[in-house]
Chain A
Amino acid sequence: MAKNSTKGRPAGNARQAKIQAAQKSSGGGANKIVVATVVVVVAIVAVVAGVIWSETSKKSAVVGSGKELPPGVTALGAGYPAFSDVTPVAGAPTLDLYEDFQCPACKSFEDQFGQTVEDLAKAGKVKLVYHVKNFLDDNLGNTWSTQAANAAFCAADAGKFQEFHDQAYANQPTEGAGFTDAQLKQFAQAAGISGAALTTWQQCYDAGKYVTYVQSVEDSSARQGVTGTPTLKLNGTQLGNAELASPDALTKAIQDATK
């Protein structure tokens, strides 16, 4: 009984066989090997060309060529220690903060926690280290993360990193719109840089003095597994929702980590 149910098939197969036979006898049909070779060659060329093009566009995204390290930074790839003039209290933990100037979630973090973190760092209760990343440049198709970071470290030369940083987050453009050169200069001025210091800042900014450093921080932080921002590490341990529920929760986590 069950076998009867497949009685439609032989007819179909026979028809298929006839079609194939007809095609073979007429000598029709393309040579599979030739077509496969063409496809493979096109595919290889496409991948190689694509990868080379990607690498080229990556390099051209970088502006400036300086290799200087910001004040207080000891090596390429290392974070920038904020408030280095403050003497930390005994056993103060280290808070590593990974941010990108174009990251909206970083702005949210700064709006909610920025003042708390700053106060704790000023009081020496936490050693605050900024890791300024620039990976959103690639995602957004501009170079403003790198340029804003460079501008911030140029401000660090004048001792105004924190002030510039706060200005940049307070006035962050909508994601993708990017900053402007004029805007970054305004931030420098609003941060309290003026006169000869502003001229120095402008020269530093135009030269892209810290671009290589910013790129090195991006690379080294990604190697450590930080591929998103904002990321916070307290004494090397990544903070989660519990510690970031409120400024009080973060303060308590920092207190608990104080030895």
Chain B
Amino acid sequence: MSTTADEAQETDTVAWYRNERVRDVIGLLARLFLGIVLIVAGAAKVGHPVTSQRAVQAYQIFPFELAGSIGLVLPFLEIILGVLLVLGLFTRLAAVASTVLMVAFIIGISQAWARGLAIDCGCFGGGGQIAPDATKYPQEIARDLSFALAGAWLAWRPRSLASLDRILFGH
């Protein structure tokens, strides 16, 4: 088995998954995926400040006032990170921040689940308490995990096709 693998690698063409071009394309896809998700999630909350505040307050992690402030700022933060990712500007920084954000969301949802709260994650607007049988914690966590993975890829390898980083700074 190992011989065949080695033989394949010894050929002149590099395995596709080691190909820098392929990885650049993956980077572009990760940027667009995570960036568009962040813009959509942020835009859904803009213009609904109370809903956004209530959504954060429903997690019952932070003091009421602080949760309210987070709810006010979060939509705009999401949009800014999303725009940076779509443009490919300061990709690594934006990717690290986005990944941290997604991990924070996953922790928030998990603790709500563990504590027996019945809330909607409010990820794309809405949020707050819902009927206990209407919770979607596993789906919400899985979804945020896929976003976190895209962010982690870009944090590890921020180089990608068609990025402002490349155009402006040459990397």
The interface size of chain A toward B, counting residues with CB under 8 Å, comes to: 43
Q: Does the CB pair A43–B127 fall under 8 Å? A: no
Give the segment of B50-58, B103-111, B137-145 that binds chain A: B50-58
Interface assignment of B130: CB less than 8 Å from any CB of chain A: yes
Q: Does the CB pair A4–B9 fall under 8 Å? A: yes
- State the main secondary structure of chain A at its contact with B: helix
Q: Does the CB pair A8–B18 fall under 8 Å? A: yes
Q: Does the CB pair B170–A20 fall under 8 Å? A: yes
Q: Does the CB pair B50–A227 fall under 8 Å? A: no
Please, what's the 1-or-0 string for A163-180, where 1 marks a CB less than 8 Å from any CB in chain B? 000000000000000000
From A23, A58, A227, B57 is in contact (CB under 8 Å) with A227
Q: Does the CB pair A55–B51 fall under 8 Å? A: no
Measured CB to CB, the closest approach of chain A to B126, in angstroms, equals: 7
| Interfacial chain A residues near B58, Cβ < 8 Å | 225, 227-228
Please, what's the 1-or-0 string for B6-25, where 1 marks a CB less than 8 Å from any CB in chain A? 10011011110010100000
Q: Does the CB pair B72–A135 fall under 8 Å? A: no
Interface assignment of A190: CB less than 8 Å from any CB of chain B: no
Nearest residue in B to A98 (C-beta to C-beta)?
B129
CA distance A225 to B89 in the complex (A): 40
Known: A46-B76, A226-B129, A241-B133. A135 touches B54 (CB 8 A): yes
Interface positions, chain A 196-235, Cβ under 8 Å from B, are 222-223, 225-229, 231
CA distance A36 to B128 in the complex (A): 36
The residues of B with any CB-CB pair to A shorter than 8 Å are: 6, 9-10, 12-15, 18, 20, 46-51, 54-55, 57-58, 60, 64, 72-73, 75-77, 79-80, 84, 89-90, 119, 125-133, 168-171
